[in-house]
């Protein structure tokens, strides 16, 4: 026999996909009515037009069918401004001050999050592709992962990961978009129609800080920072804001690319940041079904850079393109599947990073 208690107990296992907390704990389940094996209830979403409404609806229907409900009538509503403000205060840990005045738990003393900045000396070496695939591969290993697209001028992570929705905002608290198990925030979410960003240094630093203090990340094992190429303002802000950050340097095999990338490595060493290693992207081309490797962009640049920076060459990633199709449920134009050759290389890279 169905009871309100059984319905609530079943729904404790249903999570809000953005907050990763039970819909019961968030007080989203209201006005439960039971007539034999028929159940009706209200679900109060965080905002009107919640982009993940369909996911929540499917999970609730499944949970109630499993306890014997033959018919479920769901009515959707949205929280009031007061309820959203109270929820935002909970997400900030009960702090009453505005988010920008608070200290992000990720940056607080005792934080267990490992920060990994992925950088390069110049653009066009595939740094963002490495960042996105490393983040997804770590998530596939069962880690809790976030990624900040800190390349403010050249943001590309949302497009690479096939993200079309925008973050939800609750009373100045931003909920990152989750894709492939990775929580994502990017400047690309806050501009219209791919508009150019025309900002000077101080504004860049402020936006980077906002990505920590105004975003509800929850618990993370790893935070990947996709930095702009070179040693400019954002890179300096990262070194100041996150002194414990570790770094991965991305280069191509070409000697000149490695020479330029050495500047980013030198900056890391001067600011006492640990360099985990070097990733050599576009290392070679290998046609399908043959073993011959064509070193189109030369060879040896990654190994030489690693030697110069007294670190390890973590991976050599060949030239390739993910085999994805727009009609796939989790379509992402730049994310490799784990069973592919390049996807396997990224998994090995993630394992090396996790071991360190």
Report pLDDT digits (tens) over 5-54: 999 999 999 998 888 889 999 899 999 999 999 999 999 998 887 778 88
Structural domains in the chain plus CATH codes: 4-79 (3.30.300.130), 114-355 (3.40.50.300)
pLDDT score, position 281: 94
- Low-confidence residues in the chain, pLDDT < 50: 95-97, 99-101
Q: Give a three-class secondary structure readout of 97-108.
A: CCHHHCCCCCCC
Decide if 118 contacts 248 (C-beta within 8 A).
yes
pLDDT digits (tens, 9 = 90+) for 148-193: 998 777 788 999 999 988 888 887 788 899 999 999 999 888 776 6
| Residues in Cβ contact with 96 at an 8 Å cutoff, skipping those fewer than 6 apart | 89
Question: What pLDDT score does 102 carry?
Answer: 53
Burial of 215 (0-12, 13-18, 19+ CB in 10 A): buried
Q: How far apart are alpha carbons 149 and 182 in whole angstroms? A: 12
pLDDT for 97: 47
Specify the pLDDT at position 118.
92
pLDDT (0 to 100) of residue 20: 81
Contacting residues for 343 by C-beta, under 8 A, at least 6 apart: 133, 137, 322, 336, 337
Quote the pLDDT of residue 204: 61
What pLDDT, on the 0 to 100 scale, is given for residue 99?
46
């Amino acid at each position: 026999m169905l009871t309100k208690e059984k319905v609530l107990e079943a729904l404790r296992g249903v999570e809000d996909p953005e907050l990763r907390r039970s819909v019961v704990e968030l007080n989203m389940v209201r006005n439960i009515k039971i007539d034999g094996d028929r159940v009706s209830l209200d679900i109060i979403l965080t905002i009107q037009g919640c982009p993940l409404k369909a996911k929540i609806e499917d999970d609730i229907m499944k949970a109630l069918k499993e306890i014997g409900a033959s018919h479920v009538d769901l009515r959707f509503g949205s929280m009031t401004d007061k309820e959203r403000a109270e929820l935002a205060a909970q997400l900030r840990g009960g702090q009453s001050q505005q988010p920008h005045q608070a200290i992000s738990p990720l940056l607080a003393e005792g934080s267990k999050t490992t920060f990994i900045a992925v950088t390069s000396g110049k653009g066009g070496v595939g740094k963002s592709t490495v960042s996105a695939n490393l983040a997804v591969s770590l998530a596939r290993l069962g880690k809790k992962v976030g990624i900040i697209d800190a390349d403010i001028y050249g943001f590309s992570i949302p497009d690479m990961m096939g993200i079309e929705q925008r973050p939800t905002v609750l009373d100045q608290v931003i909920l990152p978009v989750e894709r492939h198990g990775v929580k994502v925030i990017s400047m690309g979410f806050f501009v219209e129609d791919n508009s150019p960003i025309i900002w000077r240094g101080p504004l860049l630093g402020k936006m980077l800080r906002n990505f920590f203090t105004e975003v509800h990340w929850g618990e993370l094992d790893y935070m990947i920072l996709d930095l702009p190429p070179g040693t400019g303002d954002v890179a300096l802000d990262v070194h100041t804001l996150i002194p414990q950050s570790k770094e991965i340097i991305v280069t191509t095999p070409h000697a000149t690319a490695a020479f330029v990338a050495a500047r980013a490595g030198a900056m890391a060493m001067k600011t006492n940041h640990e360099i985990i290693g070097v990733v050599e992207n576009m290392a070679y081309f290998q046609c399908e079904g043959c073993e011959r490797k064509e070193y189109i962009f030369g060879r040896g640049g990654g190994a030489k850079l690693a030697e110069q920076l007294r670190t390890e060459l973590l991976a050599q990633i060949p030239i390739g393109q993910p085999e994805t199709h727009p009609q796939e449920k989790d379509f992402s134009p730049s994310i490799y599947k784990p069973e592919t050759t390049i996807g396997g290389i990224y998994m090995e890279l993630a394992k090396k990073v996790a071991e360190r």
